[in-house]
Chains A and B, each alone.
Chain A
Amino acid sequence: MRAAVITFPGSNCDRDLAVGLEMAGAEVTRVWHKDSTLPEGIDLVGIPGGFSYGDYLRCGAIAANSPICSAVKTHAEKGGYVFGVCNGFQVLTETRLLPGALMRNAGLKYICKTVGLEVGTSDSDFLNNYTAGQIIQVPIAHHDGNYTATSDELDRLEGEGRVAFRYADNPNGSDRDIAGITSANGRVLGMMPHPERAMEDAHGSADGARLFAGLIGAMATA
Chain B
Amino acid sequence: MQEPAITTDLIASHGLKPDEYAVILEIIGREPTFTELGIFSAMWNEHCSYKSSKKWLRTLPTEGPQVICGPGENAGIVDIGDGQAVVFKMESHNHPSYIEPYQGAATGVGGILRDVFTMGARPIAAMNSLSFGETSHHKTRQLVNGVVEGVGGYGNCFGVPTVGGEVRFDPAYNGNCLVNAFAAGLADTDKIFYSAASGVGMPVVYLGAKTGRDGVGGATMASAEFDDTIEDKRPTVQVGDPFTEKRLMEATLELMQTGAVISIQDMGAAGLTCSAVEMGDKGGLGVRLDLERVPVREVNMTAYEMMLSESQERMLMVLKPELEAEAKAVFDKWDLDFAIVGETIAEDRFLIVHNGDVKADLPLSKLASSAPEYDRPWVPTPAAEPLSDVPQIDPIDGLKALLSSPNYASKRWVYEQYDAQVMGDTIRIPGAGAGIVRVHGTGKALAFTSDVTPRYVKANPVEGGKQAVAEAYRNLTAVGAKPLATTDNMNFGNPEKPEIMGQFVGAIQGIGEAVKALDMPIVSGNVSLYNETDGTGILPTPTIGAVGLLASEDDLINADVREGHVAMVIGETTGHLGQSALLAEVFNRTDGDAPSVDLVAEAKHGDFIRDNREWIKACTDLSDGGLALAAFEMAACADVGVTLDSADTPELFGEDQARYLVACNFDQAEALMSAAGQAGIPIAFVGKFGGEDVTIGGSTASLAELKDTSESVFPTLFS
Q: Does A12 contact B (CB under 8 A)?
A: yes
The contact string, 1 if C-beta is below 8 Å from chain A, for chain B 437-457, is: 010000000000000000000
Q: Is the interface of A mostly helix, strand, loop or mixed?
A: mixed
A16 to B160, CA, bound (A): 12
- Measured between beta carbons, the chain B residues less than 8 angstroms from A199 are 424
Q: Does A51 contact B (CB under 8 A)?
A: yes
Beyond A10-B247, A112-B417, A112-B419, whether A51 also contacts B424 by CB under 8 A is no
Binds A, one of B20-28, B39-47, B151-159: B151-159
For B, the interface residue count at a CB cutoff of 8 angstroms equals: 31
A9 to B416, CA, bound (A): 25
- Measured between beta carbons, the chain A residues less than 8 angstroms from B423 are 12, 15-16
Are B157 and A141 interface neighbours, CB within 8 A? no
A53 to B242, CA, bound (A): 10
For A, the interface residue count at a CB cutoff of 8 angstroms equals: 31
Are A51 and B418 interface neighbours, CB within 8 A? no
Are B421 and A10 interface neighbours, CB within 8 A? no
A41 to B427, CA, bound (A): 36
Output the nearest chain B residue to A49 by Cβ-Cβ distance.
B422
A199 to B427, CA, bound (A): 12
Q: Does B420 contact A (CB under 8 A)?
A: yes
- Measured between beta carbons, the chain B residues less than 8 angstroms from A162 are none
Q: Does B34 contact A (CB under 8 A)?
A: no
- Measured between beta carbons, the chain A residues less than 8 angstroms from B243 are 9-10, 51, 53-56
Output the nearest chain B residue to A112 by Cβ-Cβ distance.
B419
Output the nearest chain A residue to B412 by Cβ-Cβ distance.
A113
Are B420 and A9 interface neighbours, CB within 8 A? no
Distance (whole angstroms) from the CB of A138 to the closest CB of chain B:
11
Q: Does B246 contact A (CB under 8 A)?
A: yes
A-facing residues in B220-250 (Cβ within 8 Å): 241-244, 246-247
Distance (whole angstroms) from the CB of A24 to the closest CB of chain B:
14
| Partner pick for A12 among B158, B244, B429, B438, CB 8 A cutoff | B158
A90 to B62, CA, bound (A): 48
Q: Does B169 contact A (CB under 8 A)?
A: no
- Measured between beta carbons, the chain A residues less than 8 angstroms from B415 are 112
Q: Does A139 contact B (CB under 8 A)?
A: yes
The contact string, 1 if C-beta is below 8 Å from chain A, for chain B 607-630, is: 000000000000000000000000
| Partner pick for A202 among B156, B159, B241, B427, CB 8 A cutoff | B427
A177 to B321, CA, bound (A): 57
Are B157 and A10 interface neighbours, CB within 8 A? yes
Q: Does A13 contact B (CB under 8 A)?
A: yes
- Measured between beta carbons, the chain A residues less than 8 angstroms from B416 are 111-113
Q: Does B334 contact A (CB under 8 A)?
A: yes
A19 to B421, CA, bound (A): 14
Are B417 and A54 interface neighbours, CB within 8 A? no
- Measured between beta carbons, the chain A residues less than 8 angstroms from B242 are 51, 54
Output the nearest chain B residue to A14 by Cβ-Cβ distance.
B159
Beyond A13-B422, A112-B419, whether A203 also contacts B157 by CB under 8 A is no
Are A15 and B158 interface neighbours, CB within 8 A? no
Q: Does B335 contact A (CB under 8 A)?
A: yes
| Partner pick for B418 among A13, A56, A112, A204, CB 8 A cutoff | A112
| Partner pick for B421 among A15, A110, A111, A112, CB 8 A cutoff | A112
- Measured between beta carbons, the chain A residues less than 8 angstroms from B420 are 112, 141
A220 to B138, CA, bound (A): 62
Are A12 and B422 interface neighbours, CB within 8 A? yes
A-facing residues in B149-208 (Cβ within 8 Å): 149, 152-153, 156-159
B-facing residues in A13-42 (Cβ within 8 Å): 13, 15-16, 19-20
- Measured between beta carbons, the chain B residues less than 8 angstroms from A125 are none
Beyond A56-B243, A202-B438, whether A109 also contacts B417 by CB under 8 A is yes
Distance (whole angstroms) from the CB of A151 to the closest CB of chain B:
30
Output the nearest chain B residue to A9 by Cβ-Cβ distance.
B247
Q: B residues near A, CB below 8 A? A: 149, 152-153, 156-159, 241-244, 246-247, 334-335, 415-424, 426-427, 429, 438, 553, 719
Q: Show 9 A/B contacts (Cβ-Cβ < 8 Å), sorted by A.
A: A12-B158, A13-B159, A15-B424, A54-B241, A112-B156, A112-B420, A141-B420, A143-B156, A197-B424
Top 5 nearest A-B pairs by Cβ distance?
A: A12-B159, A54-B243, A16-B424, A51-B157, A202-B427
